[in-house]
Structures are given as structure tokens and as C-alpha cells.
Amino acid sequence: MKKIVVGITGASGTIYGIRLLEALAQDPSVETHLVMSRWAKENLAVENTGYTEKEARELANVVYDDRDMGASIASGSFQHDGMVIVPASMKTVAGIATGLADNLIARAADVTLKERRPLLLVPRESPFNQIHLENMLKLSRMGVEIIPPIPAFYNNPQTIDDLIDHNTMKLLDHLHLSNDYSSRWQGLTAAKKANRQVEHHA
């Protein structure tokens, strides 16, 4: 069974973390370990995700308090197959880039780095300032995958859910988990055909 660690921080876009948890919960071969920051829990309600904190926690197999520095995922001896921080606040990105490890999300990311396991960040900020960009470049050079939730339009998204699903598909791909969570590029001919179908139904 694959073990995936998911950190949800206080950046806007909590639904991206929830959607990833939903997708992972559908895969019986995956065990999910979840940490939510205090502000992630606040955003869960503010951003009308449709989930309560209790419901979000129930999507994971194991849940930790973000202040629990004695948790299993705080140690490099805890073996897992990848960690995703989604969404990732710029404070969290900075903390990881400088090795601050001041909460469980940052500490789990720190040990993920030192053990050279996959670490994916979904930064949710706009515009980026120079500090943000330098921190992300530093982490990218360490092998961290920076996957901002930038929407694609070649697959003719019709709803916000379509945009979120596309980003979820990318995360699952980079975790090496087979999925058909969103439409994939099938070539120019297929794209033109899909466009004609959309126009026909419009």
C-alpha cells in the first residue's frame, strides 16, 4: 500500500486539498496521512468548500495535529511515497526553503527532503514577489515539484470543478498514481472535434 502525506495550509484554495483527498480516498491502494494548519481549517468554512473539518478529516486514513512534532511523519524513519502540500502558503514555502520546521507540515516536508522522497508544492499566491520566486527556485533545485493550480483550457472546462479536477489529475500523475481524473490532451484533431461538439450543444 502506498502512503501519501497531504498538508493543507492557510492559503486560499482549500478545495484543491479536499479534491486531492477525495481522489486518494477512492484508491484502495493508498493510505493517506493528513495535516491541516489552523488557517486551513478556517478557510474550509470561509471558502464554502461544502466540507466541515470533521468531514475533511474522514477522507484520510490518519490525521495529525499540526502542532504534534512527535507524530510519526515528523521522522525520516517513517517511510512514505510522497508528500503534497496543497494549497501551499508562501509562509510554508519560506519555512521549508529555510529549514525552519516550526510546525508539523514544515517538519514533515523537511524530512521528506532529507530522505529524498517526492515533495509536491501547490503554491497559491498572485502575483509572486521576488522572495516567493527565489524560495520556489531554491526548492525546485532541491528536486521539489512546484505545481501551481494554473487552469488549462484545451479540454474545454465547463465548470470550476473541471478546473480543480485538472489540477488534481496533475498531482496524481506526479505521485505516479494511475487516474482518469480529468480530460487529457488527445491531439489537435481531437481538440477541434471537441470544440465543435461544445459549440453544437451551446
* Entry pTM: 0.93
Asked if 123 contacts 87 with a C-beta cutoff of 8 angstroms, the reply is: yes
Find the range with the poorest average confidence among 3-12, 121-130, 138-147, 179-188: 179-188
* Residues spanned by the domain of 38: 2-201
Mean pLDDT confidence for 139-150: 97
Task: For residue 180, give the DSSP letter.
Answer: -
CATH of the domain at 189: 3.40.50.1950
90 is in an annotated binding site: yes
3-state secondary structure of 148: coil
Could you report the per-residue pLDDT of 36-72, keeping only the tens digit for each?
Answer: 999 999 999 999 999 999 999 999 999 999 999 999 9
Question: Please, which contacts does 181-184 make with residues 24 or more away whose CB atoms are closer than 8 Å?
Answer: 181/23, 182/155, 183/155, 183/156, 184/155
Instruction: Tally the domains of the chain.
Output: 1
Phi, psi of 85 (to 5 degrees): -110, 110
159 is in an annotated binding site: no
d(CA 60, CA 18): 10
154 is in an annotated binding site: yes
92 is in an annotated binding site: yes
12 is in an annotated binding site: yes
38 is in an annotated binding site: no
181 is in an annotated binding site: no
Question: Please, which contacts does 126-132 make with residues 24 or more away whose CB atoms are closer than 8 Å?
Answer: 131/90, 131/94, 132/90, 132/93
Q: pLDDT value at position 194? A: 64
89 is in an annotated binding site: yes
